[in-house]
Amino acid sequence: MIPADFEAISKAHIEALVTNAVNEGRTIEYKQELPGGTDDDKKEFLADVSSFANAAGGDIVYGLTEQRDERGKPTGIPDKAEGLAGINADQQKRRLEEMIRTGIDPRLPGLRINHYDGFPSGPVIVIRVPKSWAGPHMVAFKNHSRFFTRNSAGKYQLDVREIRAAFTASGDLRAKITAFRTDRVGKIIANEAPFDLPATPKIILHLVPLTILDPVIQFDLAPVSNDPSLVTPISNSGYDRRNNLDGYLSYRFTGQGGKGDGYCQLFRSGAFEAVDADLLNASADVKLVASTYVEEHVLQATARYFKAARQIGVPMPLIVMATVTGLKGYGMATGSVWLNFQPTCTIDRDVLLFPDALVDNYGVSADVALKPIFDAFWQSAGFECCPHYDANGRWRKPSQ
């Protein structure tokens, strides 16, 4: 894999592959030409992409020639970065994206494609395929259904035993994420969180990278220490911060009985846990959720956490999970203030575990990512969906 964040890759990084004679391997492969339009070309391309996803991830670099041995066979060592002659780079990127979208099942999240100009014959195209934690991914093209992975010698087809093991590992992933959420929510309800909170209704927000399942992966949290505005409680005002055993903690301290009303814990694993014990209490005397007020704060906080995760190098995809506790018997206020409260439409349970949202790239806005969660929140109080989204699926603050 090219040793740089994908957004930071430049022409110099590609030229360095040739200068340093970086050999092909488990995480990088060179191609002189883009895949053609024949069925065999498409199958080969999809096998290449899915093999990276089912292994450790990696880069496919198009526009590099390879050195040849005495028999004329490619050695896997790049010879020249010539580029791709006579192509429209944007058009070709769309073609490759469409092939991947329709030819790999399940959908592969987090994949990125870019081109780099300035080479003798034309641009170089790089596809970065992330390691997938939601596999195994199958090539599904015209009755051709195969599973591939990679080792140091390149891609190879999985046998039945390996396919079975891959599906078992995928099931374990779902169970481990669920266990993480259950454990953390249980601790918060039992008041075993990293900061003492009052016994009031709470919003609990988790952002969990799938790399959390690898205990070896830890992130340097120094960048957020240098920009603490990114890792703040959901209510982003009047907070303090410190390092702790788990990583980095920001919190709002009220000074009343030694308690606070919210915190954000950034774990070294790259996971975020934000809890607010005040937003839902804006009108506790009438048991109404100030829906617009709550959603606006949650959206702003999620956008900050996305930016912080990107800054410390957390790879996509992320799982966003939201939980609400203590709202049994509450209703939802519609509009920008306290309007149209229907007492018969109230939340019927004390703990609401909303559906997970998968975010597969940092270009996804917080409101788009959280729409399924907001819809479920409103449905829990008897509504069809969150009424604050327009026809394009974007959140809009109601007018006064």
What secondary structure does DSSP assign to 30-56, as a single string? EESS---SSHHHHHHHHHHHHHHHTTT
- Distance between the two ends of the chain, CA-based, in angstroms? 52
Predicted model pTM: 0.68
Contacts of 98 (CB under 8 A, 6+ apart): none
Overall average pLDDT of the 271-291 stretch: 82
Burial classification of residue 82, based on how many CB atoms lie within 10 Å of its CB (0-12 exposed, 13-18 middle, 19 or more buried): middle
What is the pLDDT at residue 80?
93
User: At which of 136, 158, 180 does a domain end?
Assistant: 158
Amino acid at 209: P
Q: Tell me the C-alpha distance between 208 and 399, whole Å.
A: 34
Could you tell me if residue 361 is inside a domain? yes
Examine the domain organization and report whether 220 and 368 are in the same domain: yes
User: At which of 123, 158, 193 does a domain end?
Assistant: 158
What is the pLDDT at residue 202?
94
Could you tell me if residue 132 is inside a domain? yes
Examine the domain organization and report whether 211 and 278 are in the same domain: yes
Examine the domain organization and report whether 131 and 198 are in the same domain: no
Distances (CA, A) of 146 to 56, 107, 170, 192, 258: 18, 15, 17, 47, 59
Could you tell me if residue 273 is inside a domain? yes
Percentage above 90 pLDDT, the chain? 53
Whether the CB-CB separation of 67 and 20 falls below 8 Å is answered with no
Say how many residues make up the chain: 400
User: At which of 158, 185, 204 does a domain end?
Assistant: 158
Examine the domain organization and report whether 320 and 356 are in the same domain: yes
Q: Tell me the C-alpha distance between 107 and 97, whole Å.
A: 11
What is the pLDDT at residue 247?
94
Examine the domain organization and report whether 240 and 358 are in the same domain: yes
Range with lowest mean pLDDT among 1-15, 49-63, 168-182: 168-182
Please report the DSSP string for 216-257 in residue order. Answer: T-----HHHHHSGGGS--SS-SSEEEEEETTEEEEEEEEEET
Domain that holds residue 49: 6-158
pLDDT band at 254 (very low <50, low <70, confident <90, very high): low
- pLDDT of residue 135 exceeding 90, the answer is no
Q: pLDDT tens digit string along 327-371?
A: 999 988 876 544 555 555 789 999 999 999 888 778 889 999 999
Examine the domain organization and report whether 150 and 189 are in the same domain: no
Examine the domain organization and report whether 99 and 194 are in the same domain: no
pLDDT band at 82 (very low <50, low <70, confident <90, very high): very high
- pLDDT of residue 33 exceeding 80, the answer is yes
Could you tell me if residue 400 is inside a domain? no
CB atoms within 10 A of CB 391: 5
What average pLDDT is seen over the chain? Answer: 87
What is the pLDDT at residue 9?
92
Overall average pLDDT of the 188-193 stretch: 88
Q: Tell me the C-alpha distance between 74 and 98, whole Å.
A: 29
Examine the domain organization and report whether 147 and 188 are in the same domain: no
Could you tell me if residue 48 is inside a domain? yes
pLDDT band at 286 (very low <50, low <70, confident <90, very high): confident
Overall average pLDDT of the 374-383 stretch: 94
Could you tell me if residue 387 is inside a domain? no
How many domains does one find in the chain?
Answer: 2
